[in-house]
Amino acid sequence: MQRLDNRHSMNSPLKSQSPTPAAIRKARVTAGLTQTKAAQAVQASLRAWQQWEAGDRTMPPGLFELFMLKTGQWSLDDHDVTQ
């Protein structure tokens, strides 16, 4: 699995910012997951995931961070968890 270096990426949301639909899709595709499997990874519905990727609904930043951590695209070393 390819690991993204999101620390300096334009698609990397800050802690308080929601990810863009493009960033959500890119993260899922990079993880090699279907929308169904991606939604299951963060305990969301398939419909919610579809809406996040379509831009019809805003994905909470914490769920995006959880997805990135669970899929190995981010590590705790990449993000200061003490702030």
pLDDT above 90: percentage of residues in the chain: 71
Q: Which residue has the tokens 């398939």?
A: 46
Which single residue is written with the structure tokens 């929308």? 35
pLDDT digits (tens, 9 = 90+) for 43-60: 999 999 999 999 999 999
Indicate the number of domains in the chain: 1
User: And the tokens for 79?
Assistant: 């993000």
Quick check: is 61 in a domain? Answer: yes
Considering the domain boundaries, does residue 83 fall inside one?
no
Q: What is the pTM of this model?
A: 0.77
The pLDDT of residue 45 is: 99
CA distances (Å), origin 45, targets 14, 32, 39, 48, 59: 24, 18, 6, 5, 12
Q: Domain with 29 in it: what CATH number?
A: 1.10.260
> How many other β-carbons are positioned within 10 Å of the β-carbon of residue 25?
18
Domain that holds residue 53: 21-75
Tell me the pLDDT tens digit for each residue of 54-77: 999 999 999 999 999 999 999 988
SS3 content of the chain, % helix, strand, coil (to 5): 50, 0, 50
